[in-house]
Every structure is written in structure tokens, then in C-alpha cells.
């Protein structure tokens, strides 16, 4: 299994709040509402980080996401439904996920470490079971993807 790690991100919330939100994935359902907000699309355009032709696709995909306490599912991909399912909760330090329905075995760890009573550090690690040829092609996109995922998770408001 090849591992791709994000840089450590500073999050301005206590470790326990971050863990509580990530350990129950229904807490992330607000992603659907945010992606549907026209102001979010304008924010993406202004950032320049997302190509113009992808902005509407992000909103469409977010609208289709299905959330349960233990999983987030994208129901209609070309490969069929793909889910990210929680497989382990190590309160308050780590939430481990497995990818289901993808052609490649993969997992995700979100690790949390307190830096003060009100701030934490976060790091994401993706592990993927890739053959030699795929590994060479996927290295850069997977590294960029885990970094963007960590950035996104660091921006979530973890206050309840």
C-alpha cells in the first residue's frame, strides 16, 4: 500500500470538537447546502484554484452525496456507487476510513493532535493499493488530492 500524506494543518478548534464532527458524517451534510449556494461558486471562481468548467460539476456532485453516521456515498459514478466508510474511531485522535466500490483498495486516516485547549493540528494520509504503472501516473494527483482534502477539512467550522 502506497501512502500519501498531507502537510500538517493548524485548525482553530479543540481536538474534541473536530473529532466529534468527523466521527459522525451526518454532521458534514452542510456541504450540500454550501455547494448549492451561488456565493460558494463565486468564491471558487475568485480563488482561481478550480477550473471554470469544474465549478458547476462540484455543485452537482455535492447535491447527490448521501450521508449516514458512518459513510458518505457518491451514488452515481461511472463505476457505480463509491462510499467512504468509517472503519475505526480512536477518540479523540484519529478517524480511519475505507473506500468501498472503487476499483482500487484505498483508505484515509485523519489524525488530530491538540496544540492548546482551543487549537489542534490535523494531518490526512491516503493509502492506496496501486500497481507499479498506476502508481507512477497517480502519484502527483493523489498527493495534490490529499493536500486539498486536508485544506478543506481544516476550513470546516467545527463549532456546534
pLDDT, tens digit, 9 for 90 and up, residues 20-74: 999 999 998 888 888 888 888 888 788 877 788 888 888 888 888 999 999 999 9
Percentage of the chain lying above the pLDDT 70 cut: 99
Burial of 8 (0-12, 13-18, 19+ CB in 10 A): middle
pLDDT tens digits for range 97-107: 999 999 889 99
The per-residue pLDDT for 70 is 97
- Model confidence at 116: pLDDT above 80: yes
For residues 77 and 121, which has the higher predicted lDDT (pLDDT)?
121
On whether residue 5 sits in a domain, the answer given is: yes
The per-residue pLDDT for 43 is 83
Specify the number of domains making up the chain. Answer: 2
Percentage of the chain lying above the pLDDT 90 cut: 61
Q: How many helices (H) and strands (E) does the chain have?
A: 5, 8
| Total Cβ atoms within 10 A of residue 122 | 21
Query: What's the sign of the alpha-carbon dihedral 58, 73, 20, 5?
Result: negative
Residues 94 and 153 in one domain: yes
Residues 17 and 30 in one domain: no
The per-residue pLDDT for 98 is 97
- Model confidence at 160: pLDDT above 70: no
Mean pLDDT, the chain, rounded, equals 91
Residues 20 and 91 in one domain: yes
Residues 101 and 153 in one domain: yes
- Model confidence at 159: pLDDT above 70: yes
Residues 62 and 92 in one domain: no
With bands split at pLDDT 50, 70 and 90, how would you rate the model's confidence at 122?
very high
Residues 15 and 53 in one domain: no
Distance between CA atoms of residues 17 and 157, nearest Å: 10
Amino acid at each position: 500500500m502506497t501512502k500519501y500524506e498531507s502537510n500538517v494543518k493548524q485548525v482553530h478548534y479543540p481536538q474534541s470538537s473536530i473529532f466529534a464532527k468527523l466521527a459522525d458524517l451526518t454532521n458534514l451534510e452542510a456541504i450540500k447546502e454550501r455547494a448549492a449556494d451561488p456565493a460558494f461558486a463565486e468564491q471558487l471562481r475568485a480563488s482561481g484554484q478550480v477550473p471554470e468548467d469544474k465549478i458547476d460539476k462540484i455543485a452537482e456532485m455535492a447535491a447527490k452525496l448521501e450521508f449516514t453516521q458512518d459513510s458518505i456515498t457518491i451514488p452515481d459514478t461511472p463505476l457505480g456507487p463509491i462510499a467512504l466508510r468509517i472503519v475505526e474511531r480512536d477518540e479523540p485522535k484519529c478517524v480511519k476510513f475505507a473506500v468501498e466500490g472503487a476499483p482500487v483498495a484505498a483508505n484515509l486516516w485523519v489524525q488530530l493532535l491538540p496544540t492548546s485547549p482551543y487549537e489542534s493540528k490535523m494531518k490526512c494520509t491516503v493509502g492506496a493499493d496501486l500497481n507499479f504503472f498506476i502508481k507512477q501516473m497517480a502519484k502527483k494527483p493523489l498527493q495534490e488530492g490529499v493536500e486539498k482534502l486536508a485544506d478543506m477539512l481544516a476550513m470546516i467550522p467545527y463549532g456546534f
